[in-house]
Structure 1
Amino acid sequence: MNHVRNTAPYGSWPSPVGADDVAAGEALVEWLGFVGDEVWWTEVRPGEGGRNALMRHTGEGIVDALPGWDVRTRVIEYGGRPWAPAGDGVVFVHYADQRVYRWTPGAEPVPLSPVGDGASLRHADLSVRDTEVWCLRETVLDPECTKVTRHLVALPLDGTGATDPSAVRVLAATHDFMTGPRLAPSGTQVAWLGWNHPAMPWDSTDLVVAGINPDGTLGEPRRTHGGDGVSVTQVDWAVGTDTLYAISDPAGWWNLHEVDPATGAARVLCAREEEFGEALWRIGLRWALPLADGSVAVIHGTSGRSLGVLSPDGSLRDIDSPYTEWAYPATDGTRVAVVAAGPRHRRAVVLVDLAEGTTRVLRPATAGHDDFASVPVHRTDRGADGVEVHSHVYPPHSPDFTAPDGEPPPFLVFVHGGPTSRSHRVRNQEITYFTSRGIGVVDVQYRGSTGFGRAYRDGLRGEWGVVDVADCATVTRGLIADGTATPNRIAIRGGSAGGWTAVVSLTTEPDLYHAAAIYYPVLDLEGWRTRGTHDFESRYLESLVGPWPDRREVYRDRSPVHHVERITAPLVLFQGLDDTVCPPAQAERLLAGLTASSVDHEYLTFEGEGHGFRRAATTARCLRAELHLYGRALGFAPADDL
């Protein structure tokens, strides 16, 4: 018997995918690893204040390995790998105090690192070497996180460093920023990545190697690869040999290279106009995993990703799979555990047997009315300057409703953060919240996004607030031109750097967008550069806008806080009061200008939230506020109560 769908205006369709379901139903799963034969990972618990639980997949099912503990680090504010296996237990960073702890079965965790003396000590990217934990340590000297030093250190596994700071050995301090150490199989060498202000890690990074002396101290560090405009985004050693693998982009794409640690001679293993890595926003990210048989498991692609096995002869065999995104991979040498997702699949933890080519789901996605999910498609539109702009389109979809003939749907233009980042063309509950109600979504991968090579990534250099805004407008006008969208029913939405692009779009394209939802945005470039953000991004604007103070007038002219009078569209602004990346002062300066105007606006703040909301109640409140703003501005009546 055929299912008959009801007819109702776009935007007004009832949907079982509620704001509370979105907030609680799709866990953020990260930082996978093997402890013996078991796969472990961290999992954000929105219902527990955003706690990062350390989960383990056992023969009896999935259990919380450390109930009550929050396994998360604050290094560079965006975090990094917060745990590592240590024998039959683990070492990990606890969020509340940022100390390193050791846990062994049957015992309570014990601290390994000391309490900071007048400073905040943070740790990440841990590796166990004999009787020590080697890791990155970050020392933060002020509440604004602008005065920071970084060292590679060794913490005694016996816990003596917890009460005696002198027991903690400093190994190296080569750069303003560093990853944690990668230990060679021979135990005689160690490698890490480093970079200095004003470069960001996707601009130029050094691969550093040092010898390990018999007493555990390091020899003279030496750069062996990268630098001079080459970005190395991952380094690892081969299994069983002191051969280095590095993901770097000397030819304009992040490809995998084999590097001689003695001479620095490098050869590309699989030269493709594809990315085998991503921007290093978090310390300890990996995309290539050396395997026991001498091959390497790799994640590669452009607008989507494949998981493959790269053989020593350079041949690449991809795993047959419905998934198009793979993240936080880990290996035991023969199998790969990874977070996988695709256009028809939400995030799940899967275990891939590379020899057999089979995939087993360890942690399935929570049931979430997937029959209401829209299937995204990749789209390109050519801008006025001839450059193709990439986007992902999610059409309105419901198994229960259709719109009246001839009615165009309202559309939301999603702008991802970063800006040197990208969004994934996968099934997404937040997007389904809108599309299942009859609202289309287009997720723009503007120039500056990763995934399409350095030339596309560098297209934003010096042009932030211009090129990104133009690319969003190109895609929006393309949707209007082919009849997918209509001019008076389009809103724009973004967070952080995406919030910047959304607000600048309101000031430069006032007739194109009719509403906006803005999450923890950058709004005042002068203030953000001189007094408004943390160390990691404190000089990011020098590549995005230009050198400071030489281009002071450009910083001022592009900042929407100085052009509030141009904003005519209603908007809602969401801000975490504990945000050190985009502090509330930025939002408050914009609001001061809006208050003097007649523009409909709302400002929602959240105690205890930082840069990126983690609490279920916060996420649900924001989604409801967005939906009702769009209803008022784009001409539909939502079926939901606020």
Structure 2
Amino acid sequence: MAAGAALPYGTWPSPISSELVVRAAAGLSDVRVDPSTGAVWWSESRPDEGGRITVVRQDPATGVAQERVPATHSARTRVHEYGGAAWWVADDTLWFANWDDQRIWRRGPGDDAPVPVTPEPAQRHGERFADGVVSSDGGWIVCVRESHVAADGTALDEARNEIVAVPARADGGGEPVVLVAGTDFVSSPRLDPTGTRLAWLVWDHPRMPWDGTELWTAALVLDGPLPHVVEPSFLAGGPDEALVQPEWTEDGHLLVVSDRSEWWNVHRVDGTGDLEPLGPVDAEVATPPWVFGQSRYVVDPARGRIIAALTRAGTDALAVVEQGRVREVPTSFTAWSALRLDGDGRVVGVAAAPDAEPAVVRVDLADAGSPGIEVLRPSRDLGLAPEWFSRPEPIEFPTSGGRTAHALLYRPTNPEVTASTEERPPLIVTIHGGPTSAARPQLSLATQFWTSRGFAVVDVNYGGSTGYGRSYRRQLDGAWGIVDVDDCEAAARFLAERGDVDGDRLLIRGGSAGGFTTLAALAFRDTFAAGASSYGVADLAALAADTHKFESRYLDGLVGPYPESSDVYAERSPIHHLDGFDRPLIVFQGLEDEIVPPNQSEAIVAALEERGVPVAYVAFEGEQHGFRRAENIRRVLEAELWFYGHVLGFEPADRIDPVELRGA
């Protein structure tokens, strides 16, 4: 192809292939710094290894990185099904929850292989562990346990969540000892510097942890016959205040992130439970705790300051909070997570930018105005010039009820093609999951896959998304299936009316909660030409009956209590409103999904096929909620591209195996 040739949108040849999307990809998540050695540890999710999660240790002297979880294991927990914080380090020893059996395993610095710590449960995956901290003497792991079996080995009607102490040095027989119980959910057990006080968070149905939580503390006794807590006491929080990430300071003060001021800011907790804001700012320090162990701020005791990631208008910045003032640190990164502090007062974390995938970096803030940045674990070398990447443009647009909603617009970008002047590009409206979540302005090859082929993409942060304050986050209360659909439709119409995209070639796609919004938009509106749903919700009542404990009452807030509001559930469920659902649909589903079970996708596919609506169904054995295996990630991208070409009448430049269309 001659450089600069004009080609129809959607047909542009691109080096950003489905194979490149997954090649040597590694999802970087948690980061730890071992205070005893200064070594930095991080976890990597690897699609080309079936989505296995390994843990890597970087030698502080040589910089050499060594994998510490063997290929036979995967450091991933099933607590809350979404997991997170599945591994912990102390004294150069790694403990991790293993995916296959959910037991805790240990690997010391001289061990050739890990050994199990906790016993084999009576039922597979019957006991699960997450969010741990190792006691100062290395003898105990204090963590969250989720039990699905009773003491006699029978299955529980509902899983039981507790904070337990696990003998850290046991070899397969480390029976956990219950420290905290009695609430529906617990998280964030944190030991003070002396190891004698424990802080933690709790909440009960029907709240979610971004709605309202409570902060508790107690004296902790680990050196008696059995570990136990003494005089547990409530400190702060409640049904309308979401507390996140409690942390102890070196001098024994307790900090926590609270949204009582509208924004998730860091506060100090006094002895009476009152909260003092340490640096009030109209920005969010926290993100919704879908997974355990998220760390968005660290305490720098030597300098008497806090370093935090702030989300403002959907974009992250690193900031220093000192003496009540907040100063943003100039960097090129727009997304931060997993912040830790090393022994020299430097911040270590995962950072990404619009032209850079996530990397593990270390930031020296000796001069906060000119930080020194060292990349410890670089993102992969894509072999692409920056000109290939479409940069996100934050946009605001009017929507229903006089509201303003937010999105990130990615324009078609390909340096080897001249955009046609005779047409406008098709638009893919992408809907994040959750729905309490957000699209972030960082490089995603899955997005660039589309923009480099001539599609515009808009990532919509509809009402209910995070990063814009508590009031914006609560816009979905009782309105899921309305506000989100309104905002996604408004984003598409706004861009079409502005002349950015072709209003006759609007597509919509999403996964999980985003899949529900996709199905609802196609069932209740006539704006979109076609849609793609990945493990989406078609029947709200069925979801309320079938989903796992963590989200079993989530719909109480998003839709209404069930069964009292069963009529609303029926009104909002796409499966019950197919008269206007006449646009083609492609559906992707993992067959081991316990969050949105396969029966949701199977029901909508069967119903549309019966009505003669073109529908494709692509199911994957061995996949859960979200696709982790390289071959399946590739198939989703390619099948979706083929589907859009079929619907819109263009031939992709890629060679793709076609998809079976039913009902056509």
- TM-score by length of structure 2 reads 0.93
Work out which of the residue numbers 569, 573, 588 in structure 1 matches 2:602. Answer: 588
Q: Is the 8 A contact 2:117 2:174 kept in 1?
A: no
Residue aligning to 2:633: 619
How far does residue 341 in structure 1 lie from its aligned partner after superposition? 0.9
Residue aligning to 2:542: 527
How far does residue 295 in structure 1 lie from its aligned partner after superposition? 1.2
Residues 1:329 and 2:339 aligned together: yes
* CA deviations over 1:235-285 (Å, ceiling 9, x no partner): 1111x211011101112111110002x311211111122111111111221
Q: Hey, what's the Cα distance between the residues in 2 that align with 1:157 and 1:212?
A: 17
* CA deviations over 1:289-331 (Å, ceiling 9, x no partner): 11232211111122101111211x1122222101011011222
How far does residue 18 in structure 1 lie from its aligned partner after superposition? 0.5
Q: Hey, what's the Cα distance between the residues in 2 that align with 1:544 and 1:636?
A: 39
Residue aligning to 2:116: 111
1:89-238 correspondence runs (5 A): 89-107=93-111, 108-118=113-123, 120-129=126-135, 130=137, 131-141=139-149, 147-159=158-170, 162-163=172-173, 165=175, 168-213=176-221, 215=224, 216-238=227-249
Residue aligning to 2:662: none
Q: Hey, what's the Cα distance between the residues in 2 that align with 1:286 and 1:25?
A: 26
Other structure's SS at 2:231 match:
coil
1:387-536 correspondence runs (5 A): 387-510=403-526, 512-530=527-545, 532-536=546-550
Q: Is the 8 A contact 2:605 2:616 kept in 1?
A: no
Which stretch of structure 1 is more off in the superposition, 367-376 or 135-144? Answer: 135-144
Other structure's SS at 1:566 match:
coil
When residues 392 and 145 of structure 1 are mapped into structure 2, their CA distance, relative to the original with a 3 A threshold, is farther
Residue aligning to 1:14: 13
Q: Hey, what's the Cα distance between the residues in 2 that align with 1:126 and 1:431?
A: 35
Q: Hey, what's the Cα distance between the residues in 1 that align with 2:25 and 2:467?
A: 24
How far does residue 154 in structure 1 lie from its aligned partner after superposition? 1.0
Q: Hey, what's the Cα distance between the residues in 2 that align with 1:384 and 1:587?
A: 29
When residues 430 and 25 of structure 1 are mapped into structure 2, their CA distance, relative to the original with a 3 A threshold, is farther
How far does residue 105 in structure 1 lie from its aligned partner after superposition? 1.4
Gaps of 5+ in 2: 657-664
Which residue identity does 1:17 align to in structure 2? I
When residues 164 and 248 of structure 1 are mapped into structure 2, their CA distance, relative to the original with a 3 A threshold, is closer
* CA deviations over 1:68-108 (Å, ceiling 9, x no partner): 12111111000020111121221111111111112111212
1:224-303 correspondence runs (5 A): 224-238=235-249, 240-260=250-270, 262-293=271-302, 294-302=304-312, 303=314
RMSD: 1.7
When residues 338 and 145 of structure 1 are mapped into structure 2, their CA distance, relative to the original with a 3 A threshold, is farther
Which residue identity does 2:23 align to in structure 1? A
Q: Hey, what's the Cα distance between the residues in 2 that align with 1:563 and 1:621?
A: 30
Other structure's SS at 2:514 match:
helix
* CA deviations over 1:611-632 (Å, ceiling 9, x no partner): 0110000000010010011112
Residue aligning to 2:4: 5
Residue aligning to 2:54: 53
Q: Is the 8 A contact 2:263 2:282 kept in 1?
A: yes
Which residue identity does 1:422 align to in structure 2? A
When residues 164 and 487 of structure 1 are mapped into structure 2, their CA distance, relative to the original with a 3 A threshold, is closer
When residues 49 and 84 of structure 1 are mapped into structure 2, their CA distance, relative to the original with a 3 A threshold, is same
Q: Is the 8 A contact 2:524 2:577 kept in 1?
A: no
Q: Hey, what's the Cα distance between the residues in 1 that align with 2:156 and 2:3?
A: 58
Q: Hey, what's the Cα distance between the residues in 2 that align with 1:144 and 1:217?
A: 26
Other structure's SS at 1:596 match:
helix
When residues 353 and 145 of structure 1 are mapped into structure 2, their CA distance, relative to the original with a 3 A threshold, is farther
Which stretch of structure 1 is more off in the superposition, 292-301 or 580-589? Answer: 292-301
Q: Is the 8 A contact 2:507 2:530 kept in 1?
A: yes
Other structure's SS at 2:422 match:
coil
Other structure's SS at 1:627 match:
helix
Q: Hey, what's the Cα distance between the residues in 2 that align with 1:358 and 1:144?
A: 53
Residue aligning to 1:64: 67
Q: Is the 8 A contact 1:279 1:421 kept in 2?
A: yes
How far does residue 429 in structure 1 lie from its aligned partner after superposition? 0.4
Residue aligning to 2:39: 38
Q: Is the 8 A contact 1:174 1:194 kept in 2?
A: no
Which residue identity does 2:74 align to in structure 1? D
Q: Hey, what's the Cα distance between the residues in 2 that align with 1:385 and 1:434?
A: 32
Q: Hey, what's the Cα distance between the residues in 1 that align with 2:157 and 2:296?
A: 30
When residues 525 and 110 of structure 1 are mapped into structure 2, their CA distance, relative to the original with a 3 A threshold, is same
When residues 622 and 250 of structure 1 are mapped into structure 2, their CA distance, relative to the original with a 3 A threshold, is same
How far does residue 25 in structure 1 lie from its aligned partner after superposition? 4.4
Q: Is the 8 A contact 1:79 1:283 kept in 2?
A: yes
Residue aligning to 2:399: 383
Q: Hey, what's the Cα distance between the residues in 1 that align with 2:188 and 2:466?
A: 23
Which stretch of structure 1 is more off in the superposition, 145-154 or 241-250? Answer: 145-154
Q: Hey, what's the Cα distance between the residues in 2 that align with 1:286 and 1:144?
A: 34
Work out the percentage of aligned pairs sharing the same amino acid: 39
Q: Hey, what's the Cα distance between the residues in 1 that align with 2:338 and 2:182?
A: 27
1:362-377 correspondence runs (5 A): 362-368=376-382, 369=384, 370-377=386-393
Q: Is the 8 A contact 1:515 1:629 kept in 2?
A: no
Q: Is the 8 A contact 1:575 1:604 kept in 2?
A: yes
Q: Is the 8 A contact 1:110 1:159 kept in 2?
A: no
Which stretch of structure 1 is more off in the superposition, 62-71 or 610-619? Answer: 62-71
Other structure's SS at 1:273 match:
coil
Q: Is the 8 A contact 2:211 2:239 kept in 1?
A: no
Other structure's SS at 1:271 match:
coil
Other structure's SS at 1:221 match:
strand
Q: Hey, what's the Cα distance between the residues in 1 that align with 2:522 and 2:155?
A: 30
Which stretch of structure 1 is more off in the superposition, 410-419 or 102-111? Answer: 102-111
Q: Hey, what's the Cα distance between the residues in 1 that align with 2:10 and 2:494?
A: 21
Which stretch of structure 1 is more off in the superposition, 11-20 or 402-411? Answer: 402-411
Q: Is the 8 A contact 2:257 2:264 kept in 1?
A: yes
- TM-score by length of structure 1 reads 0.96
How far does residue 145 in structure 1 lie from its aligned partner after superposition? 9.0
Q: Hey, what's the Cα distance between the residues in 2 that align with 1:371 and 1:103?
A: 44
Residues 1:548 and 2:562 aligned together: yes
How far does residue 146 in structure 1 lie from its aligned partner after superposition? 6.3
Other structure's SS at 2:229 match:
coil
Bigger relative contact order, structure 1 or 2 (CA pairs below 8 A, ≥6 apart): 1
Q: Hey, what's the Cα distance between the residues in 2 that align with 1:306 and 1:276?
A: 10
Which residue identity does 2:543 align to in structure 1? W
Q: Hey, what's the Cα distance between the residues in 2 that align with 1:140 and 1:336?
A: 38
Other structure's SS at 1:98 match:
coil
Q: Hey, what's the Cα distance between the residues in 1 that align with 2:46 and 2:259?
A: 36
Residues 1:560 and 2:563 aligned together: no
When residues 492 and 592 of structure 1 are mapped into structure 2, their CA distance, relative to the original with a 3 A threshold, is same
How far does residue 489 in structure 1 lie from its aligned partner after superposition? 0.9
Q: Is the 8 A contact 1:44 1:52 kept in 2?
A: yes
Q: Hey, what's the Cα distance between the residues in 2 that align with 1:116 and 1:460?
A: 39
Other structure's SS at 1:290 match:
strand
Which residue identity does 2:184 align to in structure 1? D
Other structure's SS at 1:536 match:
helix
Gaps of 5+ in 1: none
